[in-house]
């Protein structure tokens, strides 16, 4: 970053603001100034050196840095989108994250609802909102969904575009022990800090209702509309920050902390994971793919990188182009699990452990190869094309699961792909058909863990295989490409997929859907 001269009048206002903040004991980096001083956020960011002014009139200039050249028009094409400008700082104890989210909401209606994901049992954190302002005026909120959401009524004279400032405090202590598998989705786990959904997030509205489900432990947690994000995150200097979007700048602060400036959009979420990571990178499908790992795990990380780049290339060719300039795959405290976020894949640390020979062994179809291929496919089926994981979890999980069949066939050959289908889907489904078989298209909460694995993953994958067999290879691919192209950055339903498939193929697919999904 280059230092720029400041205007005297603005510098005086900033200095006065800082003195007032210190006098009152209130201190937040960057956009925290807004609450106390009512300064324009872009002015504050520029004058404090957290964003260097760019000589452009393009209001989306920074977001376009996260998109490949062909996709840079997506910012407008997908809009108008909500935008988040988040500033957060981890305190000296490492247990409390304090920040401010400035959220711009287009066409808000009579009220808005924000989700506080850390308060869900799945995450085991604690989030509270300390101050709320609407268009720079104080506002009151009502707690909802067992403190996992807040409702904010809007003034009758609210314009078509509003700005909401929410100051928040989050406890980020670890959440080991959610179940017998002993893994961590949110907070600290050893040297790694994972922060999905840490900021107040606009809830998804369906008709007149806000979606505020508390998902079961076996289901996915985040359900968001696509949005634009700017994040200024200050953490200890010994942590490497990996996040959705791209890092524009890193600033070393006098107190030994480091501020990471990150932007991205349209993104389904802004997720952060930080730790003492090392990294290896490679280019694929127009993006930089980086595999982050803990010291001593380079052999497994290189295997992860190979599968991530190969699957990214294949899916870009098969489904449609990957729109972002980066894809990060990170070793995380997830046991043998994986987890998907926008532009970010987390792979369980237990798959990284061991020497080079052992690392190669876990790259088999039951280890890194399958899990990486599965989670990378989620960049299409979750990240870009979104759906409600509480009501229709099979739609993204089933299609993502079956996408690995394409990967195995491309990389390992037809025989290995058929073995994958037999071992992972056909045998479990046939073995449990008498006891666990049932309707696939139902809410996540209607399943127990065993039936969720069998039906949402295996049976749904077999539905897509049956669809492929009915339509043929060429038409099946055309259906997926059309579905992806027409629904990028949207939230879809099962009906969206089935209508698209019938329109593109010209076939009646209702009997197939009835047989497999209902």
pLDDT along the chain (518 residues), means of 10: 33 36 35 39 41 66 96 94 98 96 92 97 94 94 96 81 96 66 88 98 94 96 98 97 98 97 98 98 98 96 96 98 98 95 97 62 64 98 98 98 98 96 94 82 96 96 98 98 98 98 98 95
DSSP line for 375-416: HHHTTTBTTTBEE-TTT-HHHHHHHHHHHHHHHHHHHT-HHH
Q: Which of 239, 268, 297 is the last residue in one of the domains?
A: 268
Which residue, among 208, 183, 291, has the nearest Cα to 242 in the 3D structure? 291
Helix (H) or strand (E) holding 341: strand 338-341
Report the number of distinct structural domains present in the chain.
3
DSSP H/E element including 497: helix 494-505
Residue count (the chain): 518
For residue 100, give the nearest of 232, 203, 196 by alpha carbon: 232
> Do 301 and 263 share a domain, yes or no?
no
Answer yes or no: is 2 within a domain: no
Which of 307, 342, 377 finishes a domain?
A: 377
Q: Tell which residue, 99, 16, 18, 5, has the closest CA to residue 47.
A: 5
Q: Say whether 476 sits in a helix, a strand or coil.
A: helix
367, 397: one domain: no
The residue whose two tokens read 């956009």 is 31
Q: How many helices (H) and strands (E) does the chain have?
A: 16, 25
Distance of CA 25 to the CA centre of its chain: 34
Do both 65 and 175 map to the same domain? yes
Strand 227-236 to 83-90 pairing? parallel
The sign of the dihedral angle between the CA atoms of 112, 488, 274, 250 is negative
Q: Widest CA span of the chain, in angstroms?
A: 77
Residue 26, in any domain of the structure: no
CATH of the domain at 465: 1.10.390.10
Last residue of a domain, one of 238, 268, 298: 268
Q: Is residue 28 part of a domain?
A: no
SS (H, E, C) 384-395: CEEECCCCCHHH
Whether 17 maps to a domain, the answer reads no
Instruction: Show the domain range for 422.
Output: 386-517
Task: List the structure tokens of 263.
Answer: 């932007």
Q: What is the distance of C-alpha 146 from the center of its chain? A: 23
What contacts 255, CB < 8 A, 6 or more positions away? none
Residue with tokens 């089935």: 498
Same domain, 122 and 75: yes
Assign residue 217 the CATH number of its domain: 2.60.40.1730
> Do both 202 and 250 map to the same domain?
yes
Which residue is it, tokens 């019938």?
502
Residues 430 and 510 in one domain: yes
403 Cβ contact partners less than 8 Å away, ≥ 6 residues apart? 315, 319, 373, 374, 377, 380, 381
Residues 127 and 263 in one domain: yes
100 and 216 within one domain? yes
Q: What are 176-180's contacts with CB under 8 Å, separation 24+?
A: 178/121, 178/122, 178/124, 178/217, 179/217
What pLDDT, on the 0 to 100 scale, is given for residue 108? 84
Encode burial over 179-214: b for 16+ CB neighbours within 10 A, e otherwise.
eeeebbbbbbbeebbbbbbbbbbbbbeeeeebbbbb
> DSSP letter at 55?
S
Distance CA 141, CA 165 (A): 12
- How would you classify the pairing of strands 126-134 and 272-275? unpaired
Helix, strand, coil tally for the chain in percent (to 5): 35, 25, 35
Q: Residue 157 class from Cβ within 10 Å (0-12 exposed, 13-18 middle, 19+ buried)?
A: exposed
Give the C-alpha separation, 44 to 83, whole Å: 17
215 within domain boundaries: yes
By C-alpha distance, which of 434, 334, 452, 348 is closest to 390? 452
The one-character DSSP state at 66 is T
250, 282: one domain: no
Q: Are residues 92 and 230 in the same domain?
A: yes
């Amino acid at each position: 970053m280059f230092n720029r001269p400041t205007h005297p009048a603005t510098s005086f206002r900033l200095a006065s603001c800082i003195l007032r903040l210190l006098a009152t004991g209130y201190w937040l980096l960057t956009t925290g100034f807004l609450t106390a001083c009512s300064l324009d956020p872009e002015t504050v960011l520029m004058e404090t050196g957290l964003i260097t002014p760019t000589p452009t009139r393009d209001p989306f200039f920074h977001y376009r840095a996260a998109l490949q050249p062909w996709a840079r028009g997506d910012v407008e094409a997908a809009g108008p989108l909500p935008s988040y400008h988040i500033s957060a700082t981890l305190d000296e104890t490492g247990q409390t994250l304090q920040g401010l989210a400035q959220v711009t909401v287009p066409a808000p209606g009579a009220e808005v609802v924000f989700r506080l994901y850390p308060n869900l049992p799945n995450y085991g954190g604690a989030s509270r909102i300390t101050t709320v302002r609407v268009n720079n005026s104080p506002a009151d909120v009502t707690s909802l969904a067992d403190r996992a959401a807040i409702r904010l009524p809007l003034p009758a004279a609210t314009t078509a575009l509003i700005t909401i400032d929410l100051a928040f405090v989050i406890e980020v202590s670890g959440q080991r022990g959610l179940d017998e598998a002993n893994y961590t989705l949110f907070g600290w786990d050893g040297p790694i800090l994972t922060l999905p959904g840490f900021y107040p997030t606009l809830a998804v509205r369906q008709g007149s209702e806000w979606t505020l489900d508390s998902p079961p432990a076996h289901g996915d947690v985040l359900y968001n509309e696509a949005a634009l994000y700017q994040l200024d995150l200050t953490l200890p200097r010994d942590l490497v920050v990996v996040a959705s979007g791209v890092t524009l700048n890193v600033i070393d602060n006098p107190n030994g902390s480091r501020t990471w400036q990150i932007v991205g959009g349209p993104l389904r979420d802004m997720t952060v994971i930080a730790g003492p990571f090392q990294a290896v990178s490679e280019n694929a499908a127009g993006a930089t793919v980086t595999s982050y790992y803990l010291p001593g795990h380079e052999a497994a990380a290189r295997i992860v990188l190979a599968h991530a780049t190969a699957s990214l290339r294949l899916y870009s060719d098969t489904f449609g182009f990957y729109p972002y300039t980066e894809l990060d795959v990170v070793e995380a405290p997830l046991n043998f699990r994986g987890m998907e976020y926008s532009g970010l894949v987390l792979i369980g640390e237990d798959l990284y452990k061991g020497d080079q020979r052992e690392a190669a062994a876990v790259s088999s179809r039951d280890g890194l190869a399958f899990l990486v291929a599965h989670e990378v496919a989620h960049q299409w089926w979750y990240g870009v094309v979104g759906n409600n994981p509480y009501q229709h979890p099979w739609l993204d999980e089933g299609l993502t699961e079956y996408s690995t069949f394409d990967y195995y066939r491309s990389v390992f050959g037809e025989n290995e792909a058929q073995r994958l289908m037999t071992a992972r889907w056909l045998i479990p489904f046939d073995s449990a058909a008498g006891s666990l078989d049932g309707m696939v298209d139902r809410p996540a909460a209607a399943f127990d863990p065993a039936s969720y694995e069998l039906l949402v993953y295996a049976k749904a994958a077999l539905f897509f295989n049956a669809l492929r067999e009915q339509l043929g290879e060429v038409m099946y691919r055309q259906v997926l490409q059309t579905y992806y192209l027409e629904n990028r950055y949207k939230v879809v339903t099962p009906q969206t997929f089935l209508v698209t498939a019938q329109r593109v193929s010209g076939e009646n697919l209702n009997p197939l859907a009835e047989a497999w999904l209902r």
